[in-house]
Amino acid sequence: MQVEIGLEGLVFYGYHGVMNEEGALGNRFEVNVWLLAEVGSTAIDDDIHQTVDYYKIYALISQVMHERKKLLESLAQLISEAILSHFEQVAEVKVQVSKYNPPLKGLCERAYVTFTQKRG
């Protein structure tokens, strides 16, 4: 059985960005992730060992979000690669990384990138 699994609204404080000020002051970031995974008979068996553990997904994302990067694109790709490398049952990952109040010369609530990667 293939299912879509999502974790939305994961909030992190990080020091990502191109400008020196972003590395010094930091900012609020949000991550949303959606996975397509083959989970066997998980729904029938109610067995966590056959599905993707949300706690482990969060831990992988947290680890990536604590490594300073200049680009949101880099963060999204690294998160995707980490998930695919740790969970064989995941066929596709879609990751959205948002930065709140990006340093622009005007008002902008957030900037984001969305990255999709398929296994193989």
List the catalytic residues: 99
Strands of the sheet containing 27-38, edge to edge, are: 2-14, 27-38, 90-100, 110-118
| Max Cα-Cα span within the chain | 54
SS3 state of residue 73: helix
Q: Which residues contact 17 (CB under 8 A, 6 or more apart)?
A: 23, 27, 70, 99, 102, 103
Token pair belonging to 45: 């068996």
Residue 36 three-state SS = strand
